[in-house]
Amino acid sequence: MDWTNKVVLITGGTGSFGKKMLKTLLAEKNPKKVIIFSRDELKQHEMRVAGYNDPRLRYFIGDVRDRERLVRAMHGVDIVVHAAALKQVPACEYNPMEAIKTNIIGTSNVIEAALDAGVEKVLALSTDKAVSPANLYGGTKLVAEKLVIQSNAYAAGTATRYSCVRYGNVVGSRGSIVPLFLKQRQNGKITITDERMTRFWLSLEQGVHFVINCIEQMEGGEVFVPKIPSTKVVDLARAIAPHAQIEIIGIRPGEKLHEDLLSDDEARHSIELDTMYVVQPAEASWFGYSWKDKGSPLPEGFSYTSDNNSEWLDVEGIKKYIAPFEADFVNGTLEG
């Protein structure tokens, strides 16, 4: 795929993912233009001041809740990366309608605006919490996934195609557990909710390159799931603060012991490749199921969860992941 004549729009572009995606695209793919679409003028200003001022870059203030603004922003756009979301679990639990307005209605607006604007490809970011959701955030992302995938039915007679990427926790992203543990380390006490807890992990760089790879391969209707390592949260705490006291505080409402990236029901219509799983839509006359010829079917009863993973990060492996963020934390540049 040739990116040099493509115009890319990133919703939620001032977030950790958006900024890394922007840097990577400009450095490696040389697109014609990248539009940062977000609602916070201060964060856009801070990006400019921090050096995000490439001539190929545009800043567009708007909210995914505003469909008309999205239509305007997508004029002439070829590719949309939909990363805007309310993602803090406690905030979504306390403000459920706000989560619904952004994560569900906002996603619907992105889908419709892209169709009206003739966008070629829309790739939406999802989360492991969308699989068998235990909290409202996961529930809204499950609905958002369904909206994105099924919208290919509406777009079948046009050039627009929609797919999703679903992955686990991003090391060091804004609001993640790594900045929290780094701050707690200063007090000599790390709090975790349950010592049995496991999570999927990947670096921001891995996440961005996976998204780019999926954009280049997507046909429409897929949910792409990367093969990524798991870690025990208690090992993460030990890697960050080996001498700190660990306090068990109990599982919070809406929190799981283990996360799921692929359910056994989805596995029936998924295929396995070397670096990822591809979930094909269960019922789709508009989708040719060409992925089945590129990979292998999964065995009956297969599921991909953070506790049954074949790839694990031990304490030393975790340290390699978090080393860059420790340096940023010391320098005061890590986003908490």
| Sequential DSSP letters for 275-334 | SEEEEPPSS-TT---GGGGTSEEPPTT--EETTS-S-B--HHHHHHHHHHHHHHHHHT--
How many beta carbons lie within 10 A of that of residue 285, not counting itself? 8
Give the pLDDT score at 252: 85
| Rounded (5°) CA angle 16-19-22 | 145
Locate 130 and state its tokens: 């969308």
Per-domain boundaries in the chain? 7-167+201-227+259-305
Task: Quote the longest CA-to-CA distance of the chain.
Answer: 60
Give the pLDDT score at 334: 54
Among residues 87, 129, 232, 256, the one annotated as catalytic is: 129
Pick the CATH number of 7-167+201-227+259-305 from 3.30.300.30, 3.40.50.720, 3.75.10.10, 3.30.70.2740: 3.40.50.720
Query: Mean pLDDT in runs of 10 for the chain (336 residues)?
Result: 97 95 98 98 96 96 98 98 94 96 98 97 97 96 97 89 94 78 92 95 94 96 97 94 93 91 95 96 70 91 97 91 73 56
Q: Is 129 a catalytic residue?
A: yes
Locate 84 and state its tokens: 């805007």
Q: Which residues in the chain belong to E strands, given as ranges?
A: 7-11, 33-38, 57-61, 79-82, 121-127, 161-167, 169-170, 189-192, 198-202, 223-226, 230-232, 245-248, 260-262, 270-272, 276-279, 296-297, 304-305
- Among all chains, which residue has been given the structure tokens 């990006």? 47
